[in-house]
Amino acid sequence: MNTNSNSYIFIYASVLVIIVAAVLSTAATLLKDKQLQNVKNEKMQAMLASALIESTPQDAEITYNKYITEEWIIDQNGEIVDLYKAGAFEKGSNRAFYLNLKTELFKKSKSEAFLSPLFVCQVDGETFYIIPLLGKGLWGPVWGNMALKSDFKTVKGVVFDHKGETPGLGAEIILSDFTDQFIGKTLFDDQGNFTSIKVVKGGIVTLDPDKQIHGVDAISGGTITSMGVNDMLFNCLENYVPYIKSIK
């Protein structure tokens, strides 16, 4: 009786595990496309937000297609190697939207040839250029997007996000109190030298007056995250300098 009872329990448990596994596998398969679309929508929303364009998860793709008119992939020499426009490739065969920035920045760190994505945004007759950003914070990756005006030096807007920075400290990189500081700042000085935008511990009041246009105040108590954002900006933005200088 005990043997039969144990056998029954074992068979019942085994069948139950198989059924649950099958249900979970089916659910994961059915939800995969939706999950990928959600990731895509979130990425589009963040890019649009950097150019101060509002969108929702429901209309993100429609809004993206309305305002993002071209996608470029630029090599380390400043040459456009892929150009996607109006649903078709004008040059090359790869969309900048799907370029793996983490992989390309790793190549750069190894002094290998690398590529950088650039997005052209048209709003009410004005042209903006959106640059994706990726770096390291205190507890994990930080990332974002920066929109430049048509002069390729003045910031239109910026958004940041993070995986696990400290609430109330480094996590405040997502707040407008921090991001709004970037609006109107410039990446180049009057002589055309690349300056990036520095995140300054102690505030930009510690900089010479003529250099304050290239800096923002760091987050109080979020020193390491601020340094991570500072390094991310320089490491990502400098990749576009060869192209920018080639068109000046």
What's the pLDDT at 5? Answer: 65
Q: Tell me if 92 is assigned to some domain.
A: yes
**How many whole angstroms separate alpha carbon 131 and alpha carbon 111?**
21
What's the pLDDT at 32? Answer: 67
**Closest CA relative to residue 46, chosen from 127, 147, 153:** 147
In tens digits, the chain (248 residues) has pLDDT values of 444 566 777 777 778 878 876 776 666 566 667 788 899 999 999 999 999 999 999 999 999 999 999 999 999 999 999 999 988 999 999 999 999 999 999 999 999 999 999 999 999 999 999 999 999 999 999 999 999 999 999 999 999 999 999 999 999 999 999 999 999 999 999 999 999 999 999 999 999 999 999 999 999 999 999 999 999 999 999 999 999 999 87
What's the pLDDT at 82? Answer: 98
Q: Tell me if 136 is assigned to some domain.
A: yes
Secondary structure of residue 199 in the 3-state scheme:
strand
Structural domain span for residue 139: 49-247
Q: Tell me if 229 is assigned to some domain.
A: yes
160 has which bridge partners? 144
What's the pLDDT at 1? Answer: 44
Q: Tell me if 91 is assigned to some domain.
A: yes
pTM of the model: 0.86
Q: Tell me if 19 is assigned to some domain.
A: no
Q: Tell me if 139 is assigned to some domain.
A: yes
3-state secondary structure the chain: CHHHHHHHHHHHHHHHHHHHHHHHHHHHHHHHHHHHHHHHHHHHHHHHHHCCCCCCCCCHHHHHHHHEEEEEEEECCCCEEEEEECCEEEECCCCHHHCCHHHHHHHHHCCCCCEEEEEEEEECCEEEEEEEEEEECCCCEEEEEEEECCCCCEEEEEEEEECCCCCCCHHHHHCHHHHHHHCCCECECCCCCECCCEEECCCHHHCCHHHHHHEEECCCCCHHHHHHHHHHHHHHHHHHHHHHHHHC
Q: Tell me if 40 is assigned to some domain.
A: no
Q: Tell me if 171 is assigned to some domain.
A: yes
What's the pLDDT at 31? Answer: 60
Q: HSE (CB half, 13 Å, CA atoms) of 54?
A: 0
- Count of domains observed in the chain: 1
